Structure 1
Amino acid sequence: MPLHRRHMLAAPALLAPRAAQAQSAWPERTIRITIGFPAGSVTDSLMRNLLEPLSRELGQTVIIDNRPGGNGVVGTMAVKNAAPDGYNQAILSVTNGALNTYLVRNLPYDPIKDFAHTGFLAEAPYLLVVPANSPARSVAELIELAKQRPGELTFSHGNFSALIGSEMLCRMTGTRMLAVPSRGGPEALTEVLAGRIDSTLTDFAAGLAQVREGRVRALGVTSRTVFPLAPEIPPIAAAVPGYELIVWFGLAAPLGTPAPAVARFNEALGKVLAQPETREKLGRLGFAPRAMPPEQWRDFLQSQITSLTQLAREIGLEPS
């Protein structure tokens, strides 16, 4: 066999170890997690508590890039259009991962087809809160007030998931309240703190801190049963049977991200979410950590898009 032909046949064998080494070296630089919601939001709070352990597990720094706007569209699009190398990822939640597909006309991304799904993060309930001086001291009393003053009481919402939760409560109780949009969950809560809005569904950790300082009053939690972190707060379902709203969060990279990078990240994330100290820290903030392999996370997301779209239609929400 001519010498040059032997060299050509040997080349793939010589290159294979180098390719494997390059793949196993991921990550080699900083990983950016883009959040399509403001600093201080529930999504931001969750990810900030994962940065340090995830950085340790991956051996590279993981940072946050907040890009709020358009109910998460701005930040999500930034990642969709980023290089598919695993170094840019977005958090997909109930709002930008599911409800936007129905409620945003001409949505410029598809949460299933445009991303590689790198891992699930956690689930959490919302808190229903009212101003500290509100005459409503329970969910039943808030419902009665709304019935006495149809269309007069207000609720603020900083994202579509909070909107759908409040509209669902109105639908299930035969009441009408006026929806007031805010620029994120923190602002929606601030409006209630100031007494300008009658109620809001707020992020659990942020709301509970204000409740315990006496600045707002908690009427209920959106989980179906009592939430262990605040057993003194009844579930809304105790007054409105069948009511439940759980928000969830996962990560996704641009479509075309190499499978080894997805696998490496998912493995590291699973280890972090299984650590007792991580679970305890997130638990104190109202999060229930939950790891999933990429395929399961993608299937979960598809099922949520289907069920939440149906719910939005039933409630009467229209695309805008």
Structure 2
Amino acid sequence: MSKEIDILCIGSVLWDVIGRTPRSMAVGHDVPGRITRLPGGVAMNIAMALVREGLTPALLTVLGQDSEGRELARAALEMGMVVDLVTWSEELPTDQYMAIEAENGLVAAIADAHSLERAGDTILAPMADGRLGAISTPYSGVIALDGNLTESLLSRISDNPLFSNADLRIAPASPGKANRLVPLLHHPKATIYVNRIEAGLICDKKFSTALAAAEGLRALGARRVLVTDGGEAMAEASPDGVRTAIPPKVTVNRVTGAGDTFMAAHIAAELRGQSGNFALEAALGITAAYISETDT
């Protein structure tokens, strides 16, 4: 290992191509704006936010042995991440995501992210071959896990002894993949990070508040959940009880990566020894700063 790691980030690492405009948009609109190409993917977004918090994450993912994959690995390394555990593929291309964001929010997005699903559990080899752990000595650190893994793989992880001792922090890749997290709700050390809409999809029920959504997930068997709701009050529910916190009011200039930023900031706050509302408010403040940033 090139350096000691603080947390594993397992899942999607790809290139984000994001078009942003300060104007409102609908289907068929053609407006001026800016287009950026940046490292992205849920696992990568979380890792980048963790680096900003002074932590060293290691990536468990698959990258193609193409120019895009090599460039992405170099970018991760330069940011301070560990890439020694990345699975390299000669057959699979490096994934990418394209989105259009406007003043009225996310207009459209396409995820060309098939390589991670096709790679399957090969990306988890370091968990079993001694580099991070083994069946007899499972990894006991913090893991940030994203829902871009296949439903069958996430289901296997839920009762895999290699993950039995891990502090497992889990987020869906998108509302459409939220149901993939259902098997992980019952993991004895899992913390689930979702928004109100994703919570409703998991519970097959509409919730009017994050608090109701958090209580719904707990009733479904989740050990600990954190539910956000845009600029409205968010909620945390766990065996210790239920708490809420209100995000700072800011002008929203970007939305892609906001949930990942909140999750990473909350993890970092707890690793620094903060807890309860102190950790929630720290994470909400960092997320507010992130979404209010403008492109330069």
Alignment TM-score > 0.5, same fold: no
Which structure shows the higher helix fraction?
1
Which structure shows the higher strand fraction?
2
The structure whose Rg is larger is 1
Q: Normalized against structure 2, the TM-score is what?
A: 0.28
Q: Normalized against structure 1, the TM-score is what?
A: 0.26
